[in-house]
Amino acid sequence: MAVTAPGGRRGRMHLPHQTVETPVFMPVGTQGTVKAVAQDVLESLGAQLILGNTYHLYLRPGHEAIRRMGGLHRFMSWPRALLTDSGGFQVFSLNALRKVTADGVQFRSHLDGSTHFFTPEHAIDVQIALGADICMAFDECTEYPAERSRAEESLRNTMAWAGRSLAHFRAHRHNVPWFDPNAGRTQCLFGIVQGGMYRDLRRQCAERLVEMDFDGYAIGGLSVGEPRALTLEMIAEVLPLLPKDKPRYVMGVGYPDEIEQYARMGLDMMDCVLPTRAARHGLLFTSEGRLNIKNRQYAEDQSPPDPACDCPVCRRYSRAYLRHLMQSAEPLSGTLNTIHNLAYYLAIMERVRASLETQPAVTASQRQTPIPSP
Amino acid sequence: MAVTAPGGRRGRMHLPHQTVETPVFMPVGTQGTVKAVAQDVLESLGAQLILGNTYHLYLRPGHEAIRRMGGLHRFMSWPRALLTDSGGFQVFSLNALRKVTADGVQFRSHLDGSTHFFTPEHAIDVQIALGADICMAFDECTEYPAERSRAEESLRNTMAWAGRSLAHFRAHRHNVPWFDPNAGRTQCLFGIVQGGMYRDLRRQCAERLVEMDFDGYAIGGLSVGEPRALTLEMIAEVLPLLPKDKPRYVMGVGYPDEIEQYARMGLDMMDCVLPTRAARHGLLFTSEGRLNIKNRQYAEDQSPPDPACDCPVCRRYSRAYLRHLMQSAEPLSGTLNTIHNLAYYLAIMERVRASLETQPAVTASQRQTPIPSP
């Protein structure tokens, strides 16, 4: 299968706020901040594109407040590219009391218990108010495991909502806070391929979304508890169906070896909370494997977290110091651990990009994503 | 009284790790980290000299571990000057179960309840192992209010312990982890003037300590609940008794207007947890007064925390964003608030220094603190 051949593709996404070199790893900035790391540090680490979570920002501080302040870029002072998810994943993962109808999802705020209703149109309105460079169609993230009948029913929603998301987006994208009619630059919208762990449902969804003609395509509903072989099988099933000239994004994965593997399969974009969340729990990813900084063996270890890493943390601090910060519950602990893990993830993608540039056969697959016009 | 005249003194302390421009404000780095701020940021803010807490570092990670790793500078990767307190303040403020004898203090760890005993000799050994540029004599911080008999008894300990601290320090200072017999540079030791709120006890203590000939003198036991007029009275009583050619340090104060006031009275060094601790609770110090960033009025306020401040936070982020971070309990909240408050405090001292440089009468009082020889 062509997509599983080693290699991947080297590309460039021309987004309104950043030309993004792909394949790219996108740090997650749930509430308008990549947890514990300041924006200037993210810039110096080479982060090109970061995520905001529509669900969280809708609840707090509220998308209308962010719109009034000029959009999420300006609110959080992030000059490079942003992507907002559809809100679907959080609605499904954080809300035991949600009610799904063909029209949308009713859910309760995890903050104050208040009741909210998201339709595809509403999810798009919220994302236009936030004003990320890339928005995501409203989808239903199918749980794992799911019976076939359940996966089919869920997929019907995802496909119907994709169409409604796209229609609403096309009619309203000019409302983005930073829209400039002269430059003609505005947001773009990606569709999300669901279908649970059923190959034919995945295929059906991908084909339907491609017909709709999104600006890019994501593969969602993976890394939800299934074995990795199954994740790979679903990706391999979907990839050949996606247009070669559009970005391909696998959502919410994964470990360092996974993101390299997916990049080399031809995926262009990946995001995951793992490097940031694991960091706050003391788990560091290194060229020598995973390192639990809380371990007593590091109490007087003066070597850097990863001797092969040249991130600002590895250049300056020792394992012993990072362990002390963690043991002492010092806030600097989360910051330094996160900086290292993000640097490690970003460096993987940089290496993949560099290796693709030296492979002529792959360089030939370079593509340009057209700037979306209003 | 000469010391209360406006002005202050502009000086320079030649310490082994840094030539410190005075008057200086010293950020507090209790557990080997100024809470929530990375060392490179502290450097870029212009911090010259920061504090470590002997009590905390003794308990965790342990002074012997830090000694084996080359001392606190190397452990925490801080190339500039460090000062360690005597441990006395924490022993007295964190330990309800302490037992004081003429020989020292028995106390229980706030971490695990284990029993420890600090003598002046032990407190000095711990500080030599930590290896700060400036050590403090072991003292008893008299509580407020205290009866005269209690203050007298407490002062007897402080004065006896000062002598024992100095004798032990002189005999063992060459054991500092970074001691270089060729350069001849090692730590120096300051005495601490106590005496509660009794002017004659303060005077008695100051005169006694000056006879002992410390490298510098601190005024301790202030800002412990007394009215500010009383703080000022004690400082004004002690200051004229201290030698003009040695650094003068008022411990644990204070608000922005206080540190400027004390600097202009002729004090050279100040430390306080206020800018860092208040920051983590959302209290920002600004040229327009105190600002509680949690306040709803800032929800959509796009102005910087302090329009007159050019710190990295005020240059980049809005009040609305800082409020959102605080409301969302995001770790970046404490980091950004702390950076601003420290920048604000450091800028006050920078302005005082600059103003003293343009006053010829005051410039004449410039002094050089000799590098302590082993």
In terms of pLDDT, which residue wins out, A92 or A356? A356
DSSP code for B69: T
Residue A300 and residue A211 share a domain: no
In terms of pLDDT, which residue wins out, A331 or A357? A331
Q: Is A260 within the bounds of a domain? A: yes
Least CA distance to A61: which residue of chain B? B324
Residue A2 in tokens = 């062509």
Model confidence at A308: pLDDT above 60: yes
Interface touch A61/B327, C-beta < 8 Å: yes
Interface touch A69/B318, C-beta < 8 Å: yes
For residue B65, the chain A residues in CB contact (below 8 A) are 299-300, 320
Residue A310 and residue A174 share a domain: no
Interface touch A76/B302, C-beta < 8 Å: no
Residue B359: what pLDDT?
60
Instruction: Produce one character per residue of A283-304: b if its CB has 16 or more CB atoms within 10 Å, e if not.
Output: bbbbeeeebebeeeebebbeeb
pLDDT digits (tens, 9 = 90+) for A272-305: 999 999 999 999 999 999 999 999 999 999 999 9
Interface test with B, best of A328, A333, A339 (most B CBs within 10 A): A328
For residue A75, the chain B residues in CB contact (below 8 A) are 318, 320-321, 324
Interface touch A75/B33, C-beta < 8 Å: no
Q: Is B40 within the bounds of a domain? A: no
pLDDT digits (tens, 9 = 90+) for A176-225: 999 887 777 889 999 999 999 999 999 999 999 999 999 999 999 999 99
HEC assignment per residue over chain A: CHHHCCCCCCEEEEECCEEEEECEEECECCCCCCCCCCHHHHHHHCCCEEEECHHHHHHCCCHHHHHHCCCHHHHHCCCCEEEECCCHHHHHHCCCCCEECCCCEEEECCCCCCEEEECHHHHHHHHHHHCCCEEECCCCCCCCCCCHHHHHHHHHHHHHHHHHHHHHHHHHHHHCCCCECCCCECCEEEEEECCCCCHHHHHHHHHHHHHHCCCEEEECCCCCCCCHHHHHHHHHHHHHHCCCCCCEEECCCCCHHHHHHHHHHCCCEEECCHHHHHHHCCEEEECCEEEECCCHHHCCCCCCCCCCCCCHHHHHCCHHHHHHHHHCCCHHHHHHHHHHHHHHHHHHHHHHHHHHHCCHHHHCCCCEECCCCC
Model confidence at A371: pLDDT above 90: no
Residue A58 and residue A29 share a domain: yes
B271 included as an active-site residue:
yes
Residue A16: what pLDDT?
95
Last residue of a domain, one of A246, A272, A298: A272
- Order across the sheet with B81-84: list the strands: B24-26, B269-271, B248-250, B216-219, B188-193, B134-136, B81-84, B49-52
pLDDT band at A23 (very low <50, low <70, confident <90, very high): very high
Last residue of a domain, one of B184, B212, B241: B241
Residue B182 and residue B296 share a domain: no
B40 included as an active-site residue:
no
Residue A229 and residue A319 share a domain: no
Query: What domain range is B195 assigned to?
Result: 53-241
User: Which entry of B139, B268, B271, B306 is annotated as an active-site residue?
Assistant: B271
Least CA distance to A318: which residue of chain B? B75
Interface touch B321/A77, C-beta < 8 Å: yes
The one-letter code for the residue type at B20 is V
Interface test with A, best of B277, B298, B332 (most A CBs within 10 A): B332
Only one residue has tokens 């994501």, namely: A218
pLDDT digits (tens, 9 = 90+) for A35-82: 999 999 999 999 999 999 999 999 999 999 999 999 999 999 999 999
Last residue of a domain, one of A214, A243, A272: A272
Q: Is A184 within the bounds of a domain? A: yes
pLDDT digits (tens, 9 = 90+) for B160-184: 999 999 999 999 999 999 988 777 7
Nearest CB among A39, A320, A332 relative to B316 is that of A39
Q: Is B359 within the bounds of a domain? A: no
Nearest CB among B38, B300, B332 relative to A332 is that of B38
For residue B331, the chain A residues in CB contact (below 8 A) are 35-36, 331, 334-335
SS3 B370: coil
Residue B71 and residue B191 share a domain: yes
Interface touch A335/B60, C-beta < 8 Å: no
Query: Helices (DSSP H) in chain B: which residue ranges?
Result: 39-45, 54-59, 63-68, 72-76, 88-94, 120-130, 148-172, 199-212, 228-238, 256-265, 274-280, 312-316, 319-327, 331-357, 360-363
Distance between first and last Cα of chain A: 37
What residues of B are in the A interface, CB distance below 8 Å? 31-33, 35-40, 60-61, 65, 68-70, 75-77, 299-300, 302, 312, 316-318, 320-321, 324-325, 327-328, 330-332, 334-336
Interface touch B76/A321, C-beta < 8 Å: yes
| CA angle centred on B10, ends B4 and B12, rounded to 5° | 135
Residue A362: what pLDDT?
35
Residue A6: what pLDDT?
60
Kindly state the percentage of chain A with pLDDT values over 90.
Answer: 87
Domain of B70, CATH number, reads: 3.20.20.105
ipTM of this predicted complex?
A: 0.95
Q: Is A369 within the bounds of a domain? A: no
Q: Alpha carbon of A323 to those of A333, B38, B177: distances in Å?
A: 8, 15, 21
Q: Is A163 within the bounds of a domain? A: yes
Residue B236 and residue B289 share a domain: no
Residue B288 in tokens = 């327009």
Residue A91: what pLDDT?
81
Can you tell me the mean pLDDT for A348-359? Answer: 91
Only one residue has tokens 């022993």, namely: B91
pLDDT digits (tens, 9 = 90+) for A310-329: 999 999 999 999 999 999 99
Q: Pairing state of beta strands A115-118 and A49-52?
A: unpaired
Residue B213 and residue B158 share a domain: yes
Averaged pLDDT of chain A = 93
Residue A254 and residue A318 share a domain: no
Residue A158 and residue A25 share a domain: yes
Model confidence at A373: pLDDT above 90: no
pLDDT digits (tens, 9 = 90+) for B298-315: 999 999 999 999 999 999
Q: How far apart are CA A118 and CA A110, in angstroms?
A: 15
User: Which entry of B85, B215, B268, B306 is annotated as an active-site residue?
Assistant: B85
Residue B95: what pLDDT?
72
Q: How far apart are CA A4 and CA B46, in angstroms?
A: 52
Model confidence at A169: pLDDT above 50: yes
Residue A216: what pLDDT?
98
Residue A250 and residue A296 share a domain: no
Nearest CB among B77, B318, B331 relative to A335 is that of B331
User: One digit per residue, pLDDT tens: chain B, 374 residues?
Assistant: 233 346 899 999 999 999 999 999 999 999 999 999 999 999 999 999 999 999 999 999 999 999 999 999 999 999 999 999 998 888 878 777 789 999 999 999 999 999 999 999 999 999 999 999 999 999 999 999 999 999 999 999 999 999 999 999 999 999 999 988 777 788 999 999 999 999 999 999 999 999 999 999 999 999 999 999 999 999 999 999 999 999 999 999 999 999 999 999 999 999 999 999 999 999 999 999 999 999 999 999 999 999 999 999 999 999 999 999 999 999 999 999 999 999 999 999 999 999 998 764 433 334 444 444 43
For residue A65, the chain B residues in CB contact (below 8 A) are 299-300, 320
Residue A224 and residue A292 share a domain: no
**Count of domains observed in chain B:** 2
